[in-house]
Amino acid sequence: MIRSVLAGVTALALLTACSPAGGREQAADEVAERLYAALGASDGRAACDLLAPDTAASVADDQPCAEAILDEDLPDQPGRVTRTAVYGQQAQVKLAGDTVFLAAFPGGWRVVAAGCTARGGGRPYDCELEG
């Protein structure tokens, strides 16, 4: 009885908190890198395809997203991925020159916020691009 309860508790913790995130981390890295590759190639349409719907709508305030995103004040040289964190439906990809936040969608990760700068003092990141 005790053994089965302990096994249940351990399985619960492992199942809920330690499920393999390696593949999901890599997928999040790739989306962040593809965003900056598209922006580097001035391919606004490809960049907008990687945004979460609310974020894309926020970018396309005055003009179409594919044009507006190229005017956003995002880093020209975001650099390579330095650290990735994935928890449930949310991810954070830290690049040498930027921090990108993503969320899980049926087709994969989408960018929720980019061009983010840490503010400290317990306040959230200040992001150029967000929904």
Partner 1 sequence: MRRRLRDNSLGLVFGGLFLVVLGLQALAGHADFNQRQLTEGLPPISLGRYVTSASFGADVAENWQSEYLQFFLYVVLTVFLIQKGSPESKAPGQSGLESDKEQKIGAYAEEQSPRWARTGGWRTRLYSNSLGFAMGVIFLGSWLAQSIAGAAAFNEERLGDQHDPVSWARYLTEPDFWNRTLQNWQSELLAVASFAILAIYLRQRGSPESKPVGTPHTATGIEG
Which residues contribute to the site for partner 1 (CB under 8 A)? 2, 5-6, 9-10, 12-13, 15-19, 52-54, 85, 87-92, 101, 103-106, 113, 116, 118, 124-125, 127, 130-131
**CA angle (124, 129, 46) in 5-degree steps:** 140
Q: Which is nearer to partner 1, 41 or 118 (CB)?
A: 118
Least separation in angstroms between CB 37 and partner 1:
23
Smallest gap from residue 106 Cβ to partner 1 (A): 6
| Residue with smaller CB distance to partner 1, 53 or 64 | 53
The angle subtended at Cα 130 by Cα 125 and Cα 131, nearest 5°, is: 130
CB 131 within 8 A of CB 55: yes
Q: How many CB atoms lie within 10 A of CB 4?
A: 8
